[in-house]
């Protein structure tokens, strides 16, 4: 009987130790959107950054990065200093990329001259907040369209 209590005590301690080592996602920002594949306009993948959100203001460009267990979404806006509406282009100005994996590891990038927009509603020393819509991405074979996007992330 003593062995059973000792084993239960050790098992409980191990479970407590493992659960306390899990990453605390309470500081995780909001970064989400609907992703439509190909010509499908009805059945989106409802995507959200459930593992990590990062916003980096490295001088001129601002990078907004989020990932879940298998994919990463990056928005890069060059010259962002004030709230406003920014056009997405596949150039040094602004771009969006979505990496889907782990099995296929497909990379989708914004199309040159894409009509997608990013609306930054707040940017300060600590946070960036906004929305994005109708951003068309492609990996040369498959098109993906990001709609109803939202972000609210603290700068690192």
pLDDT in tens, the chain (156 residues): 443 323 322 322 222 233 333 444 556 899 999 999 988 989 999 999 999 999 998 776 899 999 999 999 999 998 888 999 988 876 556 889 999 877 767 899 987 666 788 999 999 989 999 999 999 899 888 899 999 999 999 998
CATH architecture of 27-154: Beta Barrel (2.40)
Q: What is the rounded CA–CA span in Å between residue 19 and residue 51?
A: 16
Q: What is the rounded CA–CA span in Å between residue 95 and residue 114?
A: 9
pLDDT at 11: 27
Tell me the CA distances in angstroms from 66 to 88, 136, 144, one per residue in order.
18, 18, 17
Is the overall model pTM greater than 0.85, yes or no?
no
Q: Is the four-CA dihedral 70, 127, 155, 96 of positive or negative sign?
A: positive
Phi, psi of 8 (to 5 degrees): -65, -40
Q: What is the rounded CA–CA span in Å between residue 137 and residue 112?
A: 10
Element housing 3 (H / E): helix 2-21
Looking only at the bridges linking them, the beta strands covering 106-110 and 94-100 are antiparallel
């Amino acid at each position: 009987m003593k062995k059973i209590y000792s084993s239960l005590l050790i098992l409980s301690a191990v479970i407590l130790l493992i659960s306390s080592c899990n990453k605390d996602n309470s500081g995780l920002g909001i970064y989400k959107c609907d992703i439509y594949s190909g010509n499908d306009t009805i059945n989106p993948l409802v995507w959200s950054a459930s593992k990590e959100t990062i916003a980096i203001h490295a001088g001129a460009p601002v990078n907004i990065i989020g990932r879940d267990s298998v994919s990463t979404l990056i928005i890069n806006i060059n010259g962002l200093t004030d709230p406003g509406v920014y056009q997405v282009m596949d150039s040094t100005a602004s771009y969006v990329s979505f990496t889907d994996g782990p099995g296929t590891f497909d990379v989708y990038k914004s199309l040159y001259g894409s009509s997608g927009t990013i609306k930054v509603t707040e940017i300060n020393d600590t946070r960036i907040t906004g929305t994005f819509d109708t951003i068309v991405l492609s990996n040369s074979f498959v098109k993906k369209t990001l709609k109803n996007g939202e972000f609210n992330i603290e700068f690192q």
